[in-house]
Homo-oligomer: A and B are copies of this chain.
């Protein structure tokens, strides 16, 4: 990568200096980006990235505001929330079944009061509306970007530019094609390998989870769970970040195995694979928390076990939503903090330093030399431009966090917004100062990234539907209120959602070691599930309520998904892809061009007529009727008369 006309930043004003002042600085965070200048300096591809990032960040503002409102609504209504009030009411003397075998004892529901109140912040009816809002927001964002892209295409005069014109075959492909004729079995396991790796990732993550869980679970006391959970989430995060780097390498290796035909196809395949791997990596723990944790725990007296003494993980009383929130919060904040600050700032700086060291035989002499160094020589110490993929990837994963699990964490857009405001300037600094100037590349659109975004916003609808229906307590509450509640209020919901367990039905060696910890003999304890009581004909079987609520949950998923899809399609159809003024202007230009073309044609015809006239002028009789001749004619006469004389 060679450097262009980059001069010292402290020297006279130039594009780079202008960019540095007007763009790559935190102090201008509130300003629009100088996209035109960026494009001029770095080329269309980089320009489009920053334009996209700008649109995304801009669109995050309303989402963040609504998210904060939803959160504040949760805060404001936490004291009016009947279920958490009932949990916190010490008069409801509910004895719960132990949370682990042997070591744990019975506990009072009132101790879960804090978690229940906190859960309400993220699990209230406003979240449902917010999930719908965010699904539509995603569509609106895609539409808005399409229009912005169209406008940029028009302004940058790319409307006629065809992508495929730059599509050259890769040298490696030409080489491999020759090889391929010899060993044909090379290309068949392509896709198989990719899928195998993806499944491998999932299995690997689950086993890590299990290992982590096994080592920590039996020793901890009940009230230290939250802290352990938080540290577990942090460990998780670190693993994610480390694995991310490994997966990027794997994706690259896999794609070279595939030997795609062109550079563009190579890039797209690489991106797609990296995306799948990174996505699985980033979202496995979240999906596990949202949909699997606490589902397969069995029931008292018949727990399911990972390995004999270790039960499947249960959620806290108020559902797994709270833990999901913590996980999302830590992933988003932590990833952004660590990856942005450490990787994006630290590593390039470190590399720059190292590279400087390497060529630094005598540090003192070097320093002296450094001052006299030409700017383009200085640029050599800057990191090479590695493409926009990592930048896009990071943003797409963030977009996934913002849209996919927004029902469980309404503050996600706010976090994303704050991150992006920094991210834009950070990337800007990196591009202007830390990296060599990339070769300007033309691009009409953001390519495969658009498809990935679109795919994500489609998946988001169904994921949010499932989060609301299955992870939150929204549906059970609704069903209770309208089907079971004696007075049509939420009073009694907590009691209704707890099943009874007769302590004499514990399996051997699973009953608590200290059954009298609460100070009285427990005969029946409660657990969160919808099962028949021990005195029914079919004790501990899933009760009718369970199936009623399941049907309600599923109905909600169907209704939510279809309504949101319908609204999205309607919005997609309502908003034209090309802004009105641009389409008008394009139309005008087309007409102008047609007119110009017509005029030229006419001009040619007239010219032919002219010639014809001159032909007739050859005859002496018509000589005086000849029209006045065009300007260039006398010159040629003058020139041609000479040889004839």
- Residue from the list B611, B635, B640 in contact with A611, Cβ < 8 A: B635
Q: List residues of chain B with CB within 8 A of the CB of A162.
A: 587, 590
Q: List residues of chain B with CB within 8 A of the CB of A330.
A: none
Q: List residues of chain B with CB within 8 A of the CB of A555.
A: 554
| Copies of this chain per assembly | 2
Q: List residues of chain B with CB within 8 A of the CB of A451.
A: 573
Q: Kindly state the separation between the CA atoms of A611 and B631 in the bound complex, as whole angstroms.
A: 12
A388 at the interface (CB under 8 A from B): no
Q: Kindly state the separation between the CA atoms of A535 and B200 in the bound complex, as whole angstroms.
A: 54
Instruction: Say yes or no: B642 contacts A164, CB within 8 Å.
Output: no
- Residue from the list B561, B629, B636 in contact with A614, Cβ < 8 A: B636
Q: Kindly state the separation between the CA atoms of A618 and B642 in the bound complex, as whole angstroms.
A: 8
Q: A551-B554, A562-B462, A639-B626 are in contact. Are A632 and B620 (CB under 8 A)?
A: no
- Residue from the list B543, B547, B551, B623 in contact with A642, Cβ < 8 A: B623
Residues A195-215 near B (CB distance < 8 A)? none
The proximity string for A residues 495-515 relative to B, scoring 1 for CB distances below 8 Å and 0 otherwise, is 000000000000000000000
- Residue from the list B462, B587, B626 in contact with A643, Cβ < 8 A: B626
Instruction: Say yes or no: B644 contacts A618, CB within 8 Å.
Output: no
A365 at the interface (CB under 8 A from B): no
A633 at the interface (CB under 8 A from B): yes
Instruction: Say yes or no: B635 contacts A615, CB within 8 Å.
Output: yes
The proximity string for A residues 520-544 relative to B, scoring 1 for CB distances below 8 Å and 0 otherwise, is 0000000000000000000000011
A638 at the interface (CB under 8 A from B): yes
A557 at the interface (CB under 8 A from B): yes
Residues A608-629 near B (CB distance < 8 A)? 611, 614-615, 617-618, 620, 623, 626, 629
Q: What is the distance, in angstroms, from A478's C-beta to the closest C-beta of chain B? A: 16
A183 at the interface (CB under 8 A from B): no
Instruction: Say yes or no: A614 contacts B635, CB within 8 Å.
Output: yes
> Chain B CB within 10 Å — which of A164, A632, A642 has the most?
A642
A558 at the interface (CB under 8 A from B): yes
Q: What is the distance, in angstroms, from A316's C-beta to the closest C-beta of chain B? A: 26
A358 at the interface (CB under 8 A from B): no
A31 at the interface (CB under 8 A from B): no
- Residue from the list B561, B620, B636 in contact with A633, Cβ < 8 A: B636
* Smallest CB gap from A548: residue in B: B547
Q: Kindly state the separation between the CA atoms of A640 and B632 in the bound complex, as whole angstroms.
A: 13
Instruction: Say yes or no: A636 contacts B639, CB within 8 Å.
Output: no
- Residue from the list B561, B590, B623, B637 in contact with A637, Cβ < 8 A: B637
A37 at the interface (CB under 8 A from B): no
Q: Kindly state the separation between the CA atoms of A618 and B641 in the bound complex, as whole angstroms.
A: 9
A329 at the interface (CB under 8 A from B): no
* Smallest CB gap from A562: residue in B: B462
Q: Kindly state the separation between the CA atoms of A268 and B252 in the bound complex, as whole angstroms.
A: 49
A550 at the interface (CB under 8 A from B): yes
Q: List residues of chain B with CB within 8 A of the CB of A558.
A: 554, 557-558, 561
Q: List residues of chain B with CB within 8 A of the CB of A548.
A: 547
Q: What is the distance, in angstroms, from A465's C-beta to the closest C-beta of chain B? A: 9
- Residue from the list B551, B618, B629, B639 in contact with A617, Cβ < 8 A: B639
* Smallest CB gap from A550: residue in B: B551
* Smallest CB gap from A615: residue in B: B635
Instruction: Say yes or no: B562 contacts A551, CB within 8 Å.
Output: no
Residues A591-620 near B (CB distance < 8 A)? 611, 614-615, 617-618, 620
- Residue from the list B543, B587, B635, B640 in contact with A164, Cβ < 8 A: B587
Instruction: Say yes or no: B639 contacts A641, CB within 8 Å.
Output: no
Q: Kindly state the separation between the CA atoms of A551 and B549 in the bound complex, as whole angstroms.
A: 9
Q: What is the distance, in angstroms, from A14's C-beta to the closest C-beta of chain B? A: 33
> Chain B CB within 10 Å — which of A551, A557, A620 has the most?
A551
- Residue from the list B164, B557, B562, B635 in contact with A618, Cβ < 8 A: B635
Q: List residues of chain B with CB within 8 A of the CB of A590.
A: 162
Q: Kindly state the separation between the CA atoms of A162 and B591 in the bound complex, as whole angstroms.
A: 11
Residues A563-611 near B (CB distance < 8 A)? 569, 573, 587, 590, 611
Instruction: Say yes or no: A639 contacts B620, CB within 8 Å.
Output: no
- Residue from the list B164, B554, B636, B639 in contact with A554, Cβ < 8 A: B554
Q: Kindly state the separation between the CA atoms of A325 and B615 in the bound complex, as whole angstroms.
A: 82
Instruction: Say yes or no: B629 contacts A640, CB within 8 Å.
Output: yes
Q: What is the distance, in angstroms, from A524's C-beta to the closest C-beta of chain B? A: 21
Q: List residues of chain B with CB within 8 A of the CB of A637.
A: 636-637, 640-641, 644
Q: What is the distance, in angstroms, from A338's C-beta to the closest C-beta of chain B? A: 34
Q: Kindly state the separation between the CA atoms of A639 and B621 in the bound complex, as whole angstroms.
A: 12
Q: List residues of chain B with CB within 8 A of the CB of A611.
A: 632, 635-636
Q: Kindly state the separation between the CA atoms of A617 and B641 in the bound complex, as whole angstroms.
A: 10
Q: List residues of chain B with CB within 8 A of the CB of A573.
A: 451
* Smallest CB gap from A546: residue in B: B547
Instruction: Say yes or no: A641 contacts B644, CB within 8 Å.
Output: yes
Instruction: Say yes or no: A623 contacts B644, CB within 8 Å.
Output: no
Q: Kindly state the separation between the CA atoms of A362 and B544 in the bound complex, as whole angstroms.
A: 84
Q: A162-B590, A626-B643, A632-B611 are in contact. Are A547 and B557 (CB under 8 A)?
A: no
Q: Kindly state the separation between the CA atoms of A615 and B557 in the bound complex, as whole angstroms.
A: 82
* Smallest CB gap from A543: residue in B: B544
* Smallest CB gap from A642: residue in B: B623
Residues A1-31 near B (CB distance < 8 A)? none
* Smallest CB gap from A451: residue in B: B573
Residues A457-489 near B (CB distance < 8 A)? 458, 462
Q: List residues of chain B with CB within 8 A of the CB of A562.
A: 462
- Residue from the list B164, B569, B636, B644 in contact with A636, Cβ < 8 A: B636
- Given A162-B590, A615-B635, A629-B640, 10 other A-B residues pairs in contact with their CB atoms under 8 A: A164-B587, A462-B562, A547-B547, A547-B548, A611-B636, A617-B639, A618-B642, A633-B640, A637-B637, A637-B640
Please name the 4 residue pairs, one residue from A and one from B, whose CB atoms are nearest each other, closest first.
A547-B547, A554-B554, A617-B639, A550-B551
What would 17 A/B residue contacts be, using CB atoms closer than 8 Å? A451-B573, A544-B544, A547-B548, A550-B551, A551-B554, A554-B554, A554-B555, A554-B557, A561-B561, A611-B635, A614-B635, A614-B639, A615-B639, A623-B642, A633-B636, A636-B636, A637-B640
